[in-house]
A and B are shown apart, each in its own frame.
Chain A
Amino acid sequence: MKRRHFLGLLGAAGVTLTTGTKAKASDAADVAGLPNAFGVLFDASRCIGCRKCEAACNTVNELPKPDKPFDDLTVLDTERRTTATAYTVVDKYTPKAGENPVFRKIQCNHCMEPACASACFVKALKKTETGAVVYDASLCVGCRYCMVACPFNIPAYEYNKALTPRVMKCTMCYPRIKEGKLPGCVEACPKEALQFGRRRDLLNIAWDRITANTDKYVSHVYGEHEMGGTSWLYIAPKPSFAALGMDEHLGTTPAPELTAGALTAVPAVVGIWPVLLTGLYAVSKRKDRIAEEEKKAAVEAAIAKASAEAEAKLAEELTKAEVAGKRRIEVEVKKALEAAAKTSEGGEDA
């Protein structure tokens, strides 16, 4: 069954997207989504841990020089992850004491349906038609939800920049593939442990290699289905991917599907609540109205009672006022009379 063919490393012509699709049923999402997306196949059985890819990545992306030079292999003794100044790292694993070590290159896997991009609330991360997942620092708010979301723990952050921190991760050398060049790391690998090409072709290559050497390889292409598939694919020598520090329990659900349910609930909630609440409100309003009517009756009765009392009181007050008024008038009259009497006396004097 020689229906698979080898496209080889795609050079300058690589970016012209061909239309002839022949894919296995298993990469349905791939075919439906980005039929001609590129990818990289990493073969752990070929990697010798020379760190040349790390050095190349550092150069092509103009990242700061590391503390220890790239030819210092003692670095491999500690497990590392990608950082803001290293888009890719190579780690060493020793499956069993005394056995030969195996190496794994770690970088962004450029997921087919990236968790990071679906998590970003300003679309600073996006999957491009080339397969690369790229980042636009001019949009990023720095919430770091992409870092939380990435199942592979890839994006890193410039924690020491006070005002303009960026999220940093492998770009699959997007600018270079646009120019028809190979990713820096792929170009630098002396052992062809890295292979660039169309993802669907890489899958075929990977499976060919596995079927040709069933004793040697784990019968699985990591990234074919993990989290809905990734552009970066891995094959590894036995015993397992777990021996290379890789999570074998990620499942095949693409990240956006994990939250889609919650998000589709939004329109439902928005639609139902007002109806429900207005209904409830109407019911409580009706209750209120009845209560209101009862209250009104009670208030009226109270007022009637109160006004009777009030009238009596008013009458009383009025009489009191009258008495007081009379007194005041009497006093005033008396005063006036006295004054008048005085004036007449004085008149007589004068």
Chain B
Amino acid sequence: MSTENTKNSLFTPFNIIAGVILAAGIVVTIMRFTMGLGAVTNLSDNNPWGLWIGFDLLCGVALAAGGYTTSAACYIFGFKRFHAAVRPAILTAFLGYALVVFALGYDVGRPWRLPYPIFYSQGTTSVLFEVGLCVFIYLTVLFIEYLPAALEWLGGFDKYRTVLIKVTMGLTILGVILSTLHQSSLGALYLIVPSKLHPLWYTPYLPVMFFMSSMFAGLSMVVFEGTLSHRYFHDKMDDDYNANYMDLQFAFAKGAAWIMSGYLAMKLIGLAMDNRWHYLFTGFGAWWLFEVVGFVVLPCYCYAVGYRDRNIGLVRIAAPWTVIGIILNRFDVSLVAFNWKLPSALRYFPSVSEIIISLFVVTVGVLAFRFIVTRMPIFYAHPAYKDSSH
């Protein structure tokens, strides 16, 4: 499919859809920067954060967690056999974070001031400051981690490449620290609004919840993305990648199942500690159960059985299911359960333009991913550097 897309015909269904989304995205972009946020979004004074924060930022960062989970597993916990999975995971994380920043450029009022909190006026009491700082540093780290692949592709930068490879271990540790910090601080953003977030979602454990869920989100994304890549970029993959591919899927399934059950336990402990059971019998309670049973308990069970029976099909179903569950959870915290006391007429629902920009961002990501994996040594070791351990 990849060769067909890049060489034979430009007018594949995928390219046509992508083209339409890109065109629509450019139109909305122009509107956003000439007429203001009000012209393209349904944001209001009561709902200052909408789809762009709920999806592009919260989900974007959670789903890019595959980068730190995989590299931690490989380099720090010593699962060397997953080495082949590191590059795709790092690439996905790098693109994910780059797109988060790109999407923020639409949402914040004066995007050219995004460096302000880091270089000009530090609001250190703000959780958002911590998020910004971590995203900034981590994006840099991911870029450096990704760079060797680009340099191998360009060729002739052996000296730099060797230096970069040498610092990888340090960077990976840094990456894991940064991820731990800001995955949880995205949840901590909402600690400041106990009066606005529904009690079923508001808990002092929000940071821990976000961190734990980012771990299984990351693992699921690696499995899911691996499945897709396997289908579409199979010709790019070398034997090393393919030989360890199944092992990796099962190991990650097992990890995800464990973490998800821990997460579930935390959710229940949270309810019990604050004695919030009675909320379960309300409309929001039904929705909470839908999220927790439908998108944590069931996929977790799927993963566990899939792992036990070595049933790859089940694992492959559980992965996208969990990913949807994460998206649902982030939407619930940032949009559905947020402002729950407001009368429904004042509640928020995204506009078409907001949806277009979110699709636009995802499409740019997929295109960039495709561009890179069809050219650079991501799924295979570069022939010239076959023996090097990175």
A residues adjacent to B (C-beta < 8 A): 81-84, 115, 117-124, 139-145, 147-149, 151, 153, 155-166, 247, 249-251, 253, 255-256, 258-259, 261-263, 265-266, 269-270, 273-274, 277-278, 280-281, 283-285, 287-288
Contact = CB atoms under 8 A, between A and B. Distances in A.
Contacts of B32: 162
B48 A247 contact: no
Contacts of A119: 126-128, 192
A153 B122 CA distance: 24
A284 B127 contact: no
Contacts of A160: 35-39
A288 B192 contact: no
Contacts of B195: 151, 247, 249-251
Contacts of B184: 262, 265
A308 B31 CA distance: 74
A121 B123 contact: yes
B322 interface: no
Interface string B59-82: 000000000000010011110100
A144 B110 CA distance: 11
Interface of B: 32-39, 41, 43-46, 48-49, 72, 75-78, 80, 107-110, 113-114, 116-117, 120-123, 125-130, 132, 169, 173, 176-177, 180-181, 184-185, 188-189, 191-196, 204, 207, 341
A184 B114 CA distance: 35
Given A143-B108, A261-B191, A284-B77, 12 more contacts: A124-B121, A141-B109, A142-B110, A144-B49, A144-B109, A157-B37, A162-B33, A258-B191, A262-B188, A262-B191, A265-B207, A277-B173
Contacts of A284: 76-78
Nearest to B43: A159
Contacts of A83: 45
A81 B176 CA distance: 44
B163 to A, nearest CB: 20
Given A144-B109, A151-B196, A281 B169 contact: yes
A278 B72 CA distance: 11
Contacts of A145: 48, 126, 128, 189
Contact of B173 (A140, A155, A166, A281): A281
Contacts of B132: 121
B45 A269 contact: no
A259 B181 contact: no
B130 A266 contact: yes
A235 to B, nearest CB: 21
A121 B49 contact: no
19 contacts: A118-B125, A118-B192, A120-B123, A122-B122, A140-B113, A141-B108, A143-B108, A145-B48, A147-B45, A148-B189, A149-B193, A157-B43, A157-B45, A157-B109, A159-B44, A160-B37, A162-B35, A270-B177, A287-B78
Interface centre among B35, B109, B188 (most CB of A within 10 A): B109
A261 B204 contact: yes
Contact of B48 (A123, A148, A258, A263): A148
B180 A159 contact: no
Contacts of A288: 78, 80
A142 B191 contact: no
Nearest to B38: A159
Q: 10 nearest interchain CB pairs?
A: A142-B109, A284-B78, A159-B38, A144-B48, A262-B188, A147-B48, A121-B129, A121-B126, A165-B109, A121-B123
Contacts of B125: 117-118, 256, 259, 263
A118 B36 contact: no
Contacts of A162: 32-36
Given A258-B194, A263-B130, A281-B173, A81 B46 contact: yes
Contacts of A255: 192
B110 A164 contact: yes
B121 A122 contact: yes
A71 B181 CA distance: 53
A269 B192 contact: no
Interface centre among B43, B45, B110 (most CB of A within 10 A): B45
A133 to B, nearest CB: 14
A81 B37 CA distance: 20
A83 B48 CA distance: 12
Given A82-B45, A121-B117, A153-B45, A273 B173 contact: yes
